[in-house]
Homo-oligomer: A and B are copies of this chain.
Amino acid sequence: MSKEHKVTIADIAREAGVSAMTVSRLLNGKGPVAKETAERINEIIERLGYQPNFLARSLSSKKSMIIGVTIPRIEHALLDNYIAQILSGVTNIALKNNYRIMLLPFNPEEGDRNEFVNWHRSKMVDGLILLKTLHRDERIAALAEQHVPFVLANHKYYADGVNFIDVNNAKGIALAVEYLVAKGHSEIAFVTGDLRETNALDRLNGFKKVMQKLGLPLREDWIINGQFNREIAYRESAKLFADKKRPDAVVCSDDYMAIGVINRIKELGLSVPDDVAVTGFDDIEIAGFLRPALTTVRQPIENIGRVAAETLIKILNEGIKKPVHRLLNVKLIPRESA
Protein backbone atom coordinates (compact mmCIF):
# COMPACT_ATOMS: atom_id res chain seq x y z
CA MET A 1 0.00 0.00 0.00
CA SER A 2 2.98 2.24 -0.42
CA LYS A 3 4.91 1.84 -3.66
CA GLU A 4 3.52 4.05 -6.34
CA HIS A 5 3.99 1.58 -9.14
CA LYS A 6 3.47 -1.94 -10.30
CA VAL A 7 4.65 -4.48 -7.81
CA THR A 8 4.90 -7.90 -9.40
CA ILE A 9 5.00 -11.39 -8.07
CA ALA A 10 8.75 -11.37 -8.74
CA ASP A 11 9.20 -8.42 -6.39
CA ILE A 12 7.40 -10.26 -3.65
CA ALA A 13 9.40 -13.41 -4.30
CA ARG A 14 12.73 -11.61 -4.22
CA GLU A 15 11.87 -9.75 -1.04
CA ALA A 16 10.77 -12.96 0.63
CA GLY A 17 13.72 -14.93 -0.61
CA VAL A 18 11.57 -17.51 -2.37
CA SER A 19 10.62 -18.25 -5.95
CA ALA A 20 7.68 -16.74 -7.73
CA MET A 21 5.95 -20.11 -7.70
CA THR A 22 5.76 -20.19 -3.95
CA VAL A 23 4.08 -16.83 -3.96
CA SER A 24 1.75 -17.97 -6.69
CA ARG A 25 0.87 -21.10 -4.76
CA LEU A 26 0.06 -19.11 -1.69
CA LEU A 27 -2.02 -16.64 -3.64
CA ASN A 28 -4.07 -19.34 -5.29
CA GLY A 29 -4.20 -21.73 -2.41
CA LYS A 30 -2.82 -24.46 -4.63
CA GLY A 31 -0.12 -26.73 -3.32
CA PRO A 32 1.56 -26.59 0.06
CA VAL A 33 3.34 -23.59 1.52
CA ALA A 34 5.08 -23.70 4.88
CA LYS A 35 3.28 -21.69 7.48
CA GLU A 36 6.24 -19.47 8.24
CA THR A 37 6.94 -18.80 4.60
CA ALA A 38 3.30 -17.97 4.08
CA GLU A 39 3.31 -15.46 6.88
CA ARG A 40 6.43 -13.78 5.62
CA ILE A 41 5.05 -13.54 2.10
CA ASN A 42 1.73 -12.26 3.28
CA GLU A 43 3.40 -9.54 5.27
CA ILE A 44 5.36 -8.42 2.23
CA ILE A 45 2.31 -8.52 -0.01
CA GLU A 46 0.53 -6.33 2.47
CA ARG A 47 3.43 -3.98 2.88
CA LEU A 48 4.08 -3.48 -0.81
CA GLY A 49 0.40 -3.38 -1.70
CA TYR A 50 0.79 -6.12 -4.24
CA GLN A 51 -2.19 -6.78 -6.47
CA PRO A 52 -2.07 -9.71 -8.90
CA ASN A 53 -2.26 -8.77 -12.55
CA PHE A 54 -5.52 -10.18 -13.70
CA LEU A 55 -4.54 -10.19 -17.36
CA ALA A 56 -1.34 -12.12 -16.83
CA ARG A 57 -3.08 -14.58 -14.59
CA SER A 58 -5.89 -15.14 -17.04
CA LEU A 59 -3.58 -15.45 -20.01
CA SER A 60 -1.54 -18.05 -18.26
CA SER A 61 -4.32 -20.00 -16.61
CA LYS A 62 -6.67 -19.74 -19.57
CA LYS A 63 -9.55 -18.62 -17.43
CA SER A 64 -10.78 -15.06 -17.26
CA MET A 65 -13.36 -15.58 -14.49
CA ILE A 66 -15.64 -13.30 -16.43
CA ILE A 67 -19.18 -14.12 -17.49
CA GLY A 68 -20.55 -12.21 -20.44
CA VAL A 69 -24.19 -11.17 -20.44
CA THR A 70 -25.78 -10.00 -23.65
CA ILE A 71 -28.02 -6.99 -23.54
CA PRO A 72 -29.92 -5.60 -26.50
CA ARG A 73 -28.21 -2.63 -28.01
CA ILE A 74 -31.05 -0.20 -27.65
CA GLU A 75 -31.04 3.04 -25.78
CA HIS A 76 -33.15 1.92 -22.90
CA ALA A 77 -32.48 -1.77 -22.58
CA LEU A 78 -31.47 -1.51 -18.98
CA LEU A 79 -34.56 0.44 -18.10
CA ASP A 80 -36.53 -2.65 -18.84
CA ASN A 81 -37.33 -3.97 -15.42
CA TYR A 82 -37.26 -7.47 -16.79
CA ILE A 83 -33.72 -7.27 -18.13
CA ALA A 84 -32.58 -5.51 -15.00
CA GLN A 85 -34.00 -8.23 -12.78
CA ILE A 86 -32.34 -11.03 -14.66
CA LEU A 87 -29.08 -9.14 -14.61
CA SER A 88 -29.50 -8.65 -10.92
CA GLY A 89 -29.89 -12.38 -10.33
CA VAL A 90 -26.93 -13.20 -12.53
CA THR A 91 -24.73 -10.66 -10.81
CA ASN A 92 -25.52 -11.94 -7.36
CA ILE A 93 -24.65 -15.53 -8.16
CA ALA A 94 -21.59 -14.61 -10.19
CA LEU A 95 -20.21 -12.54 -7.36
CA LYS A 96 -20.59 -15.37 -4.88
CA ASN A 97 -18.53 -17.55 -7.17
CA ASN A 98 -15.82 -15.01 -7.87
CA TYR A 99 -16.93 -14.29 -11.37
CA ARG A 100 -17.29 -10.81 -12.77
CA ILE A 101 -19.90 -9.66 -15.23
CA MET A 102 -19.16 -8.08 -18.56
CA LEU A 103 -21.99 -6.43 -20.43
CA LEU A 104 -22.07 -7.38 -24.09
CA PRO A 105 -24.39 -5.19 -26.11
CA PHE A 106 -25.72 -6.84 -29.25
CA ASN A 107 -28.29 -6.31 -31.93
CA PRO A 108 -31.01 -8.95 -31.56
CA GLU A 109 -32.08 -8.52 -35.16
CA GLU A 110 -28.82 -9.27 -36.89
CA GLY A 111 -25.12 -9.88 -36.58
CA ASP A 112 -22.30 -12.05 -37.79
CA ARG A 113 -22.91 -15.73 -37.18
CA ASN A 114 -19.77 -15.88 -35.09
CA GLU A 115 -20.38 -12.75 -33.08
CA PHE A 116 -21.14 -14.59 -29.86
CA VAL A 117 -18.54 -17.28 -30.43
CA ASN A 118 -15.89 -14.66 -30.93
CA TRP A 119 -16.46 -13.14 -27.53
CA HIS A 120 -15.40 -16.47 -26.16
CA ARG A 121 -12.63 -17.08 -28.66
CA SER A 122 -11.09 -13.76 -27.79
CA LYS A 123 -10.85 -15.02 -24.20
CA MET A 124 -12.78 -12.04 -23.01
CA VAL A 125 -15.28 -14.30 -21.23
CA ASP A 126 -15.34 -17.86 -19.98
CA GLY A 127 -18.99 -18.30 -20.75
CA LEU A 128 -22.14 -16.49 -21.78
CA ILE A 129 -25.63 -15.83 -20.56
CA LEU A 130 -27.90 -14.75 -23.36
CA LEU A 131 -30.74 -12.34 -22.77
CA LYS A 132 -33.35 -11.20 -25.22
CA THR A 133 -32.22 -13.32 -28.12
CA LEU A 134 -34.79 -13.97 -30.82
CA HIS A 135 -36.16 -17.23 -32.09
CA ARG A 136 -33.79 -19.12 -34.42
CA ASP A 137 -30.81 -16.84 -33.99
CA GLU A 138 -27.97 -18.45 -35.92
CA ARG A 139 -25.48 -17.10 -33.45
CA ILE A 140 -26.86 -19.47 -30.86
CA ALA A 141 -26.46 -22.47 -33.12
CA ALA A 142 -22.87 -21.41 -33.68
CA LEU A 143 -22.25 -21.39 -29.93
CA ALA A 144 -23.55 -24.91 -29.62
CA GLU A 145 -21.50 -26.17 -32.55
CA GLN A 146 -18.32 -24.73 -31.14
CA HIS A 147 -19.02 -25.99 -27.64
CA VAL A 148 -18.95 -22.59 -26.03
CA PRO A 149 -20.37 -22.70 -22.48
CA PHE A 150 -23.59 -20.71 -22.51
CA VAL A 151 -27.11 -20.56 -21.10
CA LEU A 152 -30.19 -18.94 -22.59
CA ALA A 153 -32.37 -16.99 -20.20
CA ASN A 154 -36.04 -16.94 -21.07
CA HIS A 155 -35.65 -18.49 -24.44
CA LYS A 156 -36.92 -21.98 -25.03
CA TYR A 157 -34.70 -23.78 -27.50
CA TYR A 158 -34.62 -27.55 -27.50
CA ALA A 159 -31.47 -28.61 -29.29
CA ASP A 160 -28.24 -30.41 -28.73
CA GLY A 161 -25.76 -28.39 -26.76
CA VAL A 162 -28.25 -25.65 -25.93
CA ASN A 163 -29.04 -24.94 -22.28
CA PHE A 164 -31.91 -22.76 -21.28
CA ILE A 165 -33.81 -21.54 -18.27
CA ASP A 166 -37.34 -20.39 -18.91
CA VAL A 167 -40.75 -20.37 -17.26
CA ASN A 168 -43.95 -22.15 -18.05
CA ASN A 169 -45.47 -19.43 -20.17
CA ALA A 170 -48.47 -21.33 -21.47
CA LYS A 171 -49.47 -22.29 -17.98
CA GLY A 172 -49.19 -18.68 -16.85
CA ILE A 173 -51.59 -17.51 -19.51
CA ALA A 174 -53.94 -20.38 -18.73
CA LEU A 175 -53.99 -19.29 -15.09
CA ALA A 176 -54.98 -15.79 -16.11
CA VAL A 177 -57.70 -16.90 -18.50
CA GLU A 178 -59.17 -19.40 -16.07
CA TYR A 179 -59.22 -16.75 -13.38
CA LEU A 180 -61.08 -14.36 -15.65
CA VAL A 181 -63.58 -17.00 -16.64
CA ALA A 182 -64.20 -17.82 -13.00
CA LYS A 183 -64.93 -14.14 -12.51
CA GLY A 184 -67.59 -14.35 -15.22
CA HIS A 185 -65.69 -13.03 -18.22
CA SER A 186 -65.94 -14.69 -21.59
CA GLU A 187 -65.17 -12.04 -24.19
CA ILE A 188 -61.43 -12.17 -23.84
CA ALA A 189 -58.88 -10.34 -25.95
CA PHE A 190 -55.13 -10.97 -26.01
CA VAL A 191 -52.11 -8.72 -26.42
CA THR A 192 -48.99 -10.48 -27.65
CA GLY A 193 -45.38 -9.56 -27.06
CA ASP A 194 -42.68 -9.51 -29.69
CA LEU A 195 -43.44 -12.76 -31.49
CA ARG A 196 -39.84 -13.23 -32.45
CA GLU A 197 -39.18 -14.10 -28.82
CA THR A 198 -40.09 -17.64 -27.87
CA ASN A 199 -41.85 -16.64 -24.69
CA ALA A 200 -44.16 -14.29 -26.57
CA LEU A 201 -45.00 -17.16 -28.89
CA ASP A 202 -45.51 -19.58 -26.04
CA ARG A 203 -47.90 -17.17 -24.37
CA LEU A 204 -49.89 -16.67 -27.53
CA ASN A 205 -50.12 -20.39 -28.14
CA GLY A 206 -51.05 -20.94 -24.54
CA PHE A 207 -53.85 -18.44 -24.93
CA LYS A 208 -55.26 -20.13 -28.02
CA LYS A 209 -55.08 -23.50 -26.40
CA VAL A 210 -56.81 -22.60 -23.19
CA MET A 211 -59.54 -20.67 -24.99
CA GLN A 212 -60.23 -23.71 -27.09
CA LYS A 213 -60.15 -25.98 -24.11
CA LEU A 214 -62.68 -23.82 -22.33
CA GLY A 215 -64.83 -23.62 -25.43
CA LEU A 216 -64.53 -19.85 -25.68
CA PRO A 217 -64.65 -17.97 -28.99
CA LEU A 218 -61.30 -16.97 -30.39
CA ARG A 219 -61.58 -13.76 -32.41
CA GLU A 220 -58.53 -13.06 -34.51
CA ASP A 221 -59.17 -9.32 -34.39
CA TRP A 222 -59.03 -9.49 -30.65
CA ILE A 223 -55.46 -10.65 -30.75
CA ILE A 224 -53.25 -7.63 -31.16
CA ASN A 225 -49.49 -7.25 -31.18
CA GLY A 226 -48.06 -5.03 -28.47
CA GLN A 227 -44.37 -5.91 -29.02
CA PHE A 228 -43.67 -5.98 -25.30
CA ASN A 229 -43.95 -2.20 -25.43
CA ARG A 230 -46.24 -0.06 -23.33
CA GLU A 231 -46.80 2.63 -25.89
CA ILE A 232 -47.41 0.26 -28.75
CA ALA A 233 -49.91 -1.62 -26.61
CA TYR A 234 -51.58 1.66 -25.75
CA ARG A 235 -51.84 2.56 -29.41
CA GLU A 236 -52.87 -0.82 -30.77
CA SER A 237 -55.41 -1.54 -28.08
CA ALA A 238 -57.61 1.21 -29.48
CA LYS A 239 -58.68 -1.37 -32.06
CA LEU A 240 -60.20 -3.56 -29.40
CA PHE A 241 -62.66 -0.87 -28.47
CA ALA A 242 -63.49 0.54 -31.87
CA ASP A 243 -66.57 -1.68 -32.34
CA LYS A 244 -69.73 -1.63 -30.37
CA LYS A 245 -69.00 -5.15 -29.31
CA ARG A 246 -65.95 -5.03 -27.12
CA PRO A 247 -64.06 -7.50 -24.96
CA ASP A 248 -64.80 -7.59 -21.26
CA ALA A 249 -61.28 -8.68 -20.44
CA VAL A 250 -57.81 -8.26 -21.90
CA VAL A 251 -54.97 -10.65 -21.19
CA CYS A 252 -51.59 -9.01 -21.77
CA SER A 253 -48.27 -10.74 -22.35
CA ASP A 254 -46.46 -8.42 -19.99
CA ASP A 255 -47.09 -5.79 -17.35
CA TYR A 256 -45.87 -2.80 -19.32
CA MET A 257 -48.41 -3.56 -22.02
CA ALA A 258 -51.09 -3.99 -19.37
CA ILE A 259 -50.31 -0.48 -18.16
CA GLY A 260 -50.71 0.82 -21.69
CA VAL A 261 -54.00 -0.98 -22.17
CA ILE A 262 -55.36 0.22 -18.84
CA ASN A 263 -54.53 3.79 -19.70
CA ARG A 264 -56.31 3.37 -23.00
CA ILE A 265 -59.40 1.96 -21.31
CA LYS A 266 -59.51 4.76 -18.75
CA GLU A 267 -59.12 7.30 -21.48
CA LEU A 268 -62.20 5.91 -23.16
CA GLY A 269 -64.13 6.61 -20.01
CA LEU A 270 -64.41 2.96 -19.10
CA SER A 271 -63.46 1.50 -15.78
CA VAL A 272 -60.96 -1.17 -14.88
CA PRO A 273 -61.93 -3.79 -13.81
CA ASP A 274 -65.67 -3.13 -13.89
CA ASP A 275 -66.07 -2.56 -17.60
CA VAL A 276 -62.96 -4.32 -18.73
CA ALA A 277 -60.65 -6.48 -16.66
CA VAL A 278 -56.95 -6.50 -17.49
CA THR A 279 -54.20 -8.94 -16.56
CA GLY A 280 -50.44 -8.64 -17.01
CA PHE A 281 -47.48 -10.95 -16.94
CA ASP A 282 -44.18 -10.69 -15.00
CA ASP A 283 -45.20 -8.90 -11.82
CA ILE A 284 -42.75 -6.07 -12.22
CA GLU A 285 -41.68 -4.21 -9.16
CA ILE A 286 -44.24 -1.47 -9.51
CA ALA A 287 -47.21 -3.73 -10.30
CA GLY A 288 -48.70 -3.72 -6.83
CA PHE A 289 -48.38 0.04 -6.55
CA LEU A 290 -50.28 0.97 -9.65
CA ARG A 291 -53.90 2.03 -9.35
CA PRO A 292 -55.70 -0.18 -9.98
CA ALA A 293 -53.07 -2.56 -8.68
CA LEU A 294 -52.24 -5.00 -11.41
CA THR A 295 -53.52 -8.55 -11.43
CA THR A 296 -50.73 -10.44 -13.08
CA VAL A 297 -48.85 -13.68 -13.55
CA ARG A 298 -45.70 -13.61 -11.54
CA GLN A 299 -42.63 -15.17 -13.02
CA PRO A 300 -39.54 -15.47 -10.86
CA ILE A 301 -37.49 -13.23 -13.08
CA GLU A 302 -34.55 -12.65 -10.82
CA ASN A 303 -34.49 -16.35 -10.11
CA ILE A 304 -34.19 -17.09 -13.79
CA GLY A 305 -31.02 -15.05 -13.72
CA ARG A 306 -29.77 -16.85 -10.65
CA VAL A 307 -30.45 -20.30 -12.02
CA ALA A 308 -28.94 -19.37 -15.36
CA ALA A 309 -25.77 -18.21 -13.64
CA GLU A 310 -25.62 -21.27 -11.41
CA THR A 311 -26.04 -23.50 -14.42
CA LEU A 312 -23.34 -21.74 -16.36
CA ILE A 313 -20.89 -21.83 -13.49
CA LYS A 314 -21.57 -25.52 -13.03
CA ILE A 315 -20.82 -26.10 -16.69
CA LEU A 316 -17.68 -24.03 -16.39
CA ASN A 317 -16.49 -26.06 -13.43
CA GLU A 318 -17.58 -29.52 -14.38
CA GLY A 319 -17.82 -29.44 -18.13
CA ILE A 320 -20.94 -29.87 -20.21
CA LYS A 321 -22.92 -32.99 -19.48
CA LYS A 322 -26.38 -33.34 -20.91
CA PRO A 323 -28.16 -30.15 -21.91
CA VAL A 324 -30.01 -28.30 -19.16
CA HIS A 325 -33.61 -27.41 -19.98
CA ARG A 326 -35.40 -25.92 -17.02
CA LEU A 327 -38.84 -24.43 -16.78
CA LEU A 328 -39.55 -22.49 -13.60
CA ASN A 329 -43.00 -22.08 -12.21
CA VAL A 330 -45.39 -19.15 -12.47
CA LYS A 331 -48.16 -17.99 -10.19
CA LEU A 332 -51.22 -15.82 -10.50
CA ILE A 333 -51.22 -12.71 -8.32
CA PRO A 334 -54.80 -11.39 -8.04
CA ARG A 335 -55.02 -7.70 -7.29
CA GLU A 336 -57.46 -5.05 -8.47
CA SER A 337 -57.27 -4.82 -12.25
CA ALA A 338 -59.10 -8.13 -12.77
Contacts and interface: CB of A to CB of B under 8 A. Distances in A.
Indicate the size class of the contact surface on chain A: 35 or more
A239 interface: no
A253 B263 CA distance: 26
Interface stretch (A102-110, A165-173, A208-216, A327-335): A102-110
Count of identical protomers in the assembly: 2
A79 B75 contact: no
A58 interface: yes
A100 B124 contact: yes
A291 to B, nearest CB: 6
Contact of A1 (B81, B105, B114): B114
Nearest to A284: B79
Interface string A47-67: 001011111101100001010
Nearest to A77: B88
Interface stretch (A14-22, A115-123, A308-316): A115-123
Interface string A23-36: 00000000000000
A95 interface: yes
B102 A146 contact: no
Contact of A122 (B51, B87, B302): B51
Interface string A165-209: 000000000000000000000000000000000000000000000
Contacts of A146: 4
B55 A75 contact: no
Nearest to A301: B79
Given A52-B122, A266-B291, 17 more contacts: A53-B59, A55-B55, A55-B124, A56-B59, A59-B59, A78-B78, A78-B84, A78-B85, A78-B87, A79-B81, A79-B84, A79-B85, A79-B285, A100-B102, A100-B103, A101-B102, A291-B291
17 contacts: A51-B121, A53-B59, A53-B122, A54-B122, A55-B58, A55-B64, A66-B102, A71-B91, A73-B95, A75-B88, A76-B302, A79-B88, A95-B105, A100-B103, A101-B102, A286-B286, A291-B291
